[in-house]
Amino acid sequence: MNEYQTSASQYDLFKATGNYNTVAFVEKVLGLVGEAGETADKIKKILRDKDGVIDEHDKVEVTKELGDVLWYVASIARYLDVPLEDVAKMNLEKLESRNKRNLLHGEGDNR
Ligand SMILES: [Mg+2]
């Protein structure tokens, strides 16, 4: 994951790192929201227009959008000087902890 993060950084048009108080950083946050929306829109249209049946073309198109989401996640983490591997590990640790405590359902970021 860290190799991906490093490789992905070459496509940051701002060529900036390590400073989250910049237009470049905000552009990444807005980009993440935009790409998440594009992913949701693709799924919405599959549900609306194709009775929810996902064919191979749809899978490719949704996968492309997920890649765009991943790029922005990796970029935001890079601006925060956080390895992408740490993002993934912390997420799994959080989910494992919740699962052990039977708290996968419910609300609250830090349950
Ligand atoms: Mg996209």
In the reported structure, the alpha carbon of residue 28 is separated from the centroid of ligand 1 by a whole-number distance in angstroms of 13
Q: What is the pLDDT of residues 9-34, one digit of tens each?
A: 999 988 766 677 789 999 999 999 99
Dist. CA 24–CA 30, nearest whole Å: 10
CATH number of 2-83: 1.10.287
Q: What is the pLDDT of residues 85-109, one digit of tens each?
A: 999 999 999 999 998 998 888 788 8
Residue with tokens 């190799």: 3
The dihedral sign for the CA sequence 56, 38, 87, 89: negative
In the reported structure, the alpha carbon of residue 18 is separated from the centroid of ligand 1 by a whole-number distance in angstroms of 24
In the reported structure, the alpha carbon of residue 64 is separated from the centroid of ligand 1 by a whole-number distance in angstroms of 7
- Residues surrounding ion ligand 1 at CB below 5 Å: 35, 38, 65, 68
**Domain definitions of the chain by residue range:** 2-83
